[in-house]
Chain A
Amino acid sequence: MTSKALLAATALVAITLSLPATAAELTVGFSQIGSESGWRAAETSVSKSEAAKRKVTLKIADAQQKQENQIKAIRSFIAQGVDAIFLAPVVSSGWDAVLKEAKEAKIPVVLLDRDIDPSGKELYLTAVTSDSVHEGAVAGEWLAKTVGGKACNVVELQGTVGASVATNRKKGFDSVVAKNANLKVVRSQTGDFTRAKGKEVMESFIKAEGGGKTICAVYAHNDDMMVGAIQAMKEAGLKPGKDILTVSIDAVPDIFKAIAAGEANATVELTPNMAGPALDAIMAYKAKGTVPPKWIQTESKLYTAADDPQKIYDSKKGLGY
C-alpha cells in the first residue's frame, strides 16, 4: 500500500513538474509489427523507455507480422479509449476501414517507421519515418569528404533486389557519386542484407579487382553485410578500415565493435527511436492542439571512430538488436 502511495505521489510530482507538456497522463496504444529483426526488437525496447521518460503509458501489441492482428489490436485500442495509436504498418495497403474507425472515435494515429498508401493520407496525424534515400546520400557524402579529390573505386553491396530500402539507399549514394567525378562504383552486387552473402560477394569482388588492390572503399546497404565483408577482407590479407574504407547503414551494435577495432570507418544510423518524436508530436497535439507536419523525418546520424564507438556499443547491445 505504501509503495503504491509512494508511486502515485512520485507520478503526481512528475506531472506537476512537467505540467506545461502533459496536462494529464496519456495512454498510447502501439501496434508493433513483430520482432522479425534485431532493429525491430530495439525499436520496441526504445519505445518503452521513451514512453517511460515522458510518463506515458504505452500498451504494445505484437502482431507477429500479420495485418489482421494489427487491425484487431487497433480495434481493441479504440475500444479501450486510448489517447493515441501508434502503428508500424506491416503492409502499405488495407488500412482505410480501421483507420476511419479511429478517426470517428477522434483518436489520432501516428505511423512509425513505414508509410501507407497515399489514399489514406487524411486518416493519420503524421508519419515518423527515416528517409532511406537520404541515408544513402549521407554515406556517400562521408566518403566524398574522406577521400577528398582523390580517385576512388567503390564496390557496393546491395540489399535484396527489389526491396525499396535497397533501391533508395542505392539511389541516394549514386546521387553523390554523380556529383563527384573522382568517385566511381566499379562493382555492385546483392548481398541480400545478410552476413553470409555479404562475405561471399566481397570475396568475389576482391578476386575480380586484382586481390582488392584497386578497391578504395566498400559501401554496404546494411551493417550486417559489412560485417561479413570485413571478414572477407581480413581473410584475403587486407586491412579493412585502412587499405579499404568502409561505410554502411543501420548502426547495429556489431559495427561499432568493428569501428572500435579500427576495421570499419563509418555507419549511418537508422534510429530505433521513432516513438520519441511521435510522442512529442502527440503531447503537443493533445496539450495545445499543434498539428504536426504530415511527415516527421528522423535524423540519419553518421558515426565514425571519433564518436567513442565502444561506448555506443555498450549502450546499444542491451536493446535487443
Chain B
Amino acid sequence: MMSRLLQSRGLAQIIALLVILAVDRAVSPQFFDLRMQDGRLFGSLIDVLNRGAPVALLALGMVLVIATRGIDLSVGAVMAISGAIAASLADTHGLPLALAAALGAGLLCGLWNGFLVAVLGIQPIVATLILMVAGRGVAQLITEGRIVTFTAPDLVWLGNGAVLGVPAPVVVVLGMLIVTGAVVRGSALGLLIEATGGNARASELAGIGTRGMILAVYVWCGLCAALAGVIAAADIMGADANNAGLWLELDAILAVVIGGTSLFGGRFSLVLAMVGALIIQAMNTGILLSGYPPEFNLVVKAAVVLVVLLLQSPRFANVGVVLGRARQ
C-alpha cells in the first residue's frame, strides 16, 4: 500500500516539499506571514518563489534536454553571458534591444550545444562542458572582469517589479511554464521528445526527426538559461560574470532529478521539475532562516536531498513495506 502510494507520480515530491515547508515553519515561526511592501508581496514564502526563479527556469529547459537522454552543463555560463550582455546594453540601448541581444545569445549557445550533440554526435556531457568552461570566459570578456551595473528602470523591473503583488521573476517562470507546457504537452512534441530519449534509433526508424528534436531542446534550454541570466542580473542591478549562475547547472539537474525525471531519458514532467526547484529553494531559505553556522549549509542540503531521493526509490519503498509486514 505504502509502496504504491509513494510510486504514484509526484506524490513523493509534494510530500517532501510540504515536509520541508513545515520544517521551515518550525525553525522560523514567521515563515508563512505575508504582507504588502511597496506594491509587492513580502514574506519568506515569496522569497522561496522569487529566489527559486532562476533555478526553476534552468530546470524548465534542462528537463527537456534530460528527457532526450542528454544533459546541459553550460546553463550557468549561459546565464553569465546573457546577464553581461543585458547589463552592458540596458542603459544605452533600451530594454527591447538589450533583451533581444541577451536572449539571442542564449539561443546561439543552445544552437551550438545542439549542433555538437545532434549533428556531430558528441556525448552531451562533453559537448556542453566546452561552453561551461569557455562561456564564463566570454562573459568576463564582455564585462572586462568588472561588475557592470545599470539603472535602466525597465530592466530593473524584471528583477524587482511585481504583477498584482507577485514578483516579476515568478511571473516570468509561470509564463514560461505555461508556454513550454502548451507546446510540448498540447501537441505530440512531448511524446516525440520522450521517444527520442527512450530509444533514438527506434524513433528514427519510426520516422521521428530525432536530430531536430535534440537540436530544439538544447536551443530551448539555452533560451531558458538566458532568461534566468537576465533575471539574475536585474535582481542585483548588475552583471557579475565571475559569480552569476555559478554551479547553478548542478542545482538545475538536481531539481529535474528530484522531480522524478530519469537521467536515462524517456519521460519527463515539467511541473514536478518546478516542484524540485522549489524543494531546493525552500531548503536553502530554511537553512538561512535557521541561524545555524554556515559550515552546516552543505551538509544539511546533502542530507535532505538524499532523503528526498530515497523517498522516490521503488526499492526503498519495498524495504519499508517489508519492515512494516515484519512488525505486524
Contacts and interface: CB of A to CB of B under 8 A. Distances in A.
B293 interface: yes
Interface stretch (B91-99, B145-153, B304-312): B145-153
Given A189-B288, A194-B240, A231-B236, A38 B44 contact: no
Contact of A228 (B43, B47, B236): B236
B37 A207 contact: no
Nearest to B236: A195
Contact of A195 (B147, B288, B294): B147
Given A195-B238, A196-B235, A231-B237, A208 B289 contact: yes
Interface residues of A, number: 34
B250 to A, nearest CB: 15
A41 B145 CA distance: 8
Interface in B284-307: 285, 288-289, 291, 293-295, 297
B288 A201 contact: yes
Interface in B219-250: 232, 235-238, 240, 242-244
Contacts of A237: 37-38, 42
B262 interface: no
Contact of A36 (B28, B44, B147, B242): B242
Contacts of B240: 194-196, 224
Contact of B243 (A194, A210, A321): A194
A187 B146 contact: no
B30 interface: yes
A29 to B, nearest CB: 23
Nearest to B233: A196
Nearest to B27: A208
B232 A200 contact: no
A273 B40 CA distance: 44
A161 B297 CA distance: 10
A35 interface: yes
Contacts of A208: 28, 30, 289, 291
A204 interface: yes
B7 interface: no
B232 A38 contact: no
A305 B235 CA distance: 26
B146 A320 contact: yes
B160 interface: yes
Give chain B's interface secondary structure class: mixed
Nearest to B159: A231
Interface in A24-69: 35-38, 41
Contacts of A187: 291
B25 interface: no
B147 A188 contact: no
Interface string A143-167: 0000000000000001001000000
A203 B42 CA distance: 10
B155 to A, nearest CB: 14
A307 to B, nearest CB: 22
Interface of B: 28, 30, 37-38, 40, 42-44, 47, 51, 144-147, 149, 160, 232, 235-238, 240, 242-244, 285, 288-289, 291, 293-295, 297
Given A190-B297, A231-B160, A235-B37, 10 more contacts: A38-B147, A41-B145, A41-B146, A188-B294, A199-B235, A204-B47, A207-B30, A208-B30, A224-B240, A320-B146
Closest 8 A-B residue pairs measured CB to CB? Answer: A204-B288, A190-B294, A195-B236, A194-B243, A207-B44, A208-B289, A35-B145, A204-B289
27 contacts: A35-B145, A36-B145, A36-B242, A37-B145, A37-B242, A41-B145, A41-B146, A188-B293, A195-B240, A196-B232, A196-B236, A200-B51, A201-B288, A203-B47, A204-B285, A204-B288, A207-B28, A207-B43, A207-B44, A208-B28, A208-B30, A228-B236, A235-B160, A236-B42, A237-B37, A320-B144, A320-B145
